[in-house]
Amino acid sequence: MLHIWKLLFFTPFLLYSCYSDIKTHRVNNNLWLIMLGSGVVFVLLDILTHGISYILYVFISAGLMFVIVYILFQLGIFGGADAKSLIVLSVIFPVYPTFKAFEYSFPFHKPSIDSFAFSILGNAIILIFIFLIGLAAHNIMKMGIRIDNPGYIFIGYKTKISQLVNKHVRLLQELNIVDRDNELYYIRRELELDDRTIHELKNLSEKGLIKDDVWVTPKLPFMIPMTMGFFVAVFYGDLATELTKYLISFFLK
């Protein structure tokens, strides 16, 4: 029963982090501090329920997740909010939460690795891959097989410069142009498209120096797949484990 209360209590924190990540592309540190402070109460209740040895699970869970997210953060794969959310969840849920509701036992597929935060991370990564495959399918349906930059189809999409607005996207292409007056225009790849850059692109397009479309990549708020991964972990289990089992059984047939 305590697992259900913990899941219900901390769900609004994750939903708000998604809202904040979409709106501002950042999550205030105070959210995680409040979440962690509230979580201490539940950890103490778990210790009273399961005994003092439960503290060991907390240290193992938090320590393992800290090492993983620190490596991912240093590699530039993770943002600060993503890392903090997983560390806090690893403290609050050091063991995988299981519960019964409506005569069903959840999760449907409990993973062999008893790490809830690790399952959330794995689920989030798989959900991102599904999104990237969907993005590629969208590009192929829109442009057919004649795609000028096939390597971009999984990470971005093409949009008209005349329709660009400041909406949290980055430029995938590098533009290096010299006009008739020998004036150099250089716009680097991965540059965030703010109002100034968009104005410069529109100016170059109006001069006929570039086409009226560019490849851009969305800045996907990672808290969205993280929160989705949380719900998948709660009700279904570990997608990576089940996918691995399926692939092994498929190839061994």
Average pLDDT over all residues of the chain: 83
Whether residue 217 contacts residue 103, with contact meaning beta carbons closer than 8 Å, is answered with no
Task: Examine the domain organization and report whether 127 and 196 are in the same domain.
Answer: no
Q: How many residues does the chain have?
A: 253
Residue 186: pLDDT above 90? no
Of 136, 147, 134, 196, the residue nearest 171 (C-alpha) = 196
The amino acid at residue 238 is D
Number of domains in the chain: 2
In tens, the pLDDT along 8-26 reads: 899 999 999 999 888 877 8
Contact 202, 187 (CB under 8 A): no
- Confirm whether 140 is domain-assigned: no
109 falls within a domain = yes
80-84: average pLDDT = 82
Query: Which pLDDT does position 242 carry in this prediction?
Result: 79
Clarify whether residues 75 and 193 are in a common domain: no
Per-residue exposure over 51-63, b if at least 16 CB sit within 10 Å of its own CB, e if not? eeebeebbeebbe
The CATH number of whichever domain residue 125 belongs to comes to 1.20.120
6 and 91 housed in the same domain: yes
Same structural domain, 39 and 92: yes
pLDDT at 101 over 60: yes
Structure tokens at 48: 């009273």
Residue 212, pLDDT score: 80
| Torsion angle, alpha carbons of 164, 18, 104, 54, to 10 | 140
| pLDDT at residue 229 in the model | 93
pLDDT band at 164 (very low <50, low <70, confident <90, very high): confident
Same domain membership, residue 45 and residue 57: yes
At residue 14, the pLDDT reads 93
Q: Which range marks the domain in which residue 155 is found?
A: 146-218
Q: What is the pLDDT of residue 182?
A: 52
Residue 136: how many other CB atoms lie within 10 Å: 17
Please provide residue 237's backbone torsions phi and psi, each rounded to the nearest 5 degrees: 130, -145
Q: 25-35 pLDDT, tens per residue?
A: 788 889 999 99
33-37, 197-201, 207-211, 213-217 — most confident range: 33-37
By three-state DSSP, how is residue 246 classified? helix
Q: Is the pLDDT of residue 200 over 90?
A: no
**Between residues 207 and 28, the one the model is more confident about:** 28
What is the per-residue burial (b if ≥16 Cβ within 10 Å, else e) of 92-110? bbbbbbebeeeeeebbeeb
Tens digits of residue pLDDT in 124-145: 989 988 988 988 888 888 887 7
Judge whether residue 214 has pLDDT over 70: yes
Q: What is the pLDDT of residue 17?
A: 92
Residue 230 lies in a domain: yes
Which range is least confidently modeled, 37-41, 50-54, 55-59, 216-220?
216-220
pTM of the model: 0.80
Asked if the model's pLDDT at residue 3 lies above 60, the reply is yes
Mean pLDDT for the stretch of residues 166-195: 66
Q: What is the gyration radius of the CA atoms in the chain, in angstroms?
A: 23
**Which residues lie below 8 Å from residue 135, measured CB to CB, with a gap of 6+?**
153, 154, 155, 156, 157
